[in-house]
Amino acid sequence: MDAPAIIVGRQCRYCRKWYPKGDFVLFGPGLERCPKCQERHLIALDALAGNPPKECAFCHITFEKLSDKHPGERVPMVVHMIDGTYMLACQVCDIKITELTRHLFKGTMFGKARGIA
């Protein structure tokens, strides 16, 4: 019989998944995120620099599919900061996330534009 596996790792506080301790990326004083969350964050920053992302970080619809829905137009995507990580959302996910986090936008210009404030 094999010995039980010992989990040597840490749970990412953002996505709740477990990764080896050494894989975590420090991004601020006492702030760490797993390599997957770090990757999503860098993709969003890259998109802010003008490079199209591969997909929506939430529903994973590809950028090509989103582009097909908006022929000849700019593809609307919205950056959300979830627990310190920038993530790009398609319009459908943006509406859901904004609804779930509406308390954050009360009294802001964004909230006003969305009819929250």
Q: Under the rule (CB under 5 A), what is the footprint of Zn ion?
A: 12, 14-15, 34, 37, 56, 58-59, 90, 93
CB of 4 to Zn ion, least distance (A): 25
Compute the least distance from the CB of residue 3 to Zn ion, in Å. Answer: 28
Residue number, 12 or 43, with CB nearest to Zn ion? 12
- The dihedral built from the CA positions of residue 79, 111, 15 and 96, taken in this order, carries a sign that is negative
Looking up tokens 């990326």 gives 25
**Nearer CB in complex with Zn ion: 11/107:** 11
Q: Which is nearer to Zn ion, 91 or 102 (CB)?
A: 91
88: helix, strand or coil: strand
Cβ 21 to Zn ion, closest distance in Å? 13
Q: Are 101 and 62 in contact (CB under 8 A)?
A: no
CB atoms within 10 A of CB 26: 10
Look at strands 25-28 and 31-33 and give their pairing. antiparallel
Smallest distance from the beta carbon of 80 to Zn ion, in angstroms? 11
For Zn ion, the closer of residues 59 and 113 by Cβ is 59
Q: 87 near 40, Cβ under 8 Å?
A: yes
